[in-house]
Amino acid sequence: MKSIELNKVQDYLDQWTNKPVYVHVETTNGAYAKHFDANAYNVGAYVRNAQITYTQGKIVEQEGAYRVGLKHEIGWIYAEGLTDFEFNENNQLLMAGHDADGRLMVAMQLSETPFNY
């Protein structure tokens, strides 16, 4: 992956407007947050292979990190803190936010075909 380039990502998002795509979204602070800090909580969620058709997809930059919002017929999909992206050989748009140690904190990924199980 490399640092997000806003215009490139916007183009990738635009290509799937009004077309069904599979989405993977997740956020995590790891399974050991509370283990290492009694005042912390482990927090995480992921959705893998939900199929949606968004009517508008947009990426927005603020202070070096990015947010992506996907508007669809009956709701939204949203991710904040994205920093890096890759459009891979399987035509999947991968976006992720990494901390200073390179650990994944948040991800949003789109694909015309389901992500591998």
Provide φ and ψ at 74, rounded to 5°: -125, 20
- Footprint of another protein on residues 14-43 (CB under 8 A)? 24, 26, 28, 30-32, 35, 38
Pairwise CA distance, residues 113 & 117, whole Å: 12
Site for another protein (CB under 8 A): which residue of 13, 23, 68, 96? 96
* Binding window for another protein (CB under 8 A); candidates: 15-23, 52-60, 69-77, 97-105: 97-105
**Cβ within 8 Å of residue 92, ≥6 positions away:** 109, 110, 111, 115
* Residue 104 interacting with another protein (CB under 8 A): yes
* Continuous segment of H or E residues that includes residue 96: strand 92-98
- Given the rule CB under 8 A, which residues bind another protein? 1, 24, 26, 28, 30-32, 35, 38, 44, 46, 86, 88, 90, 92, 94, 96, 98, 101-105, 107, 109, 115-117
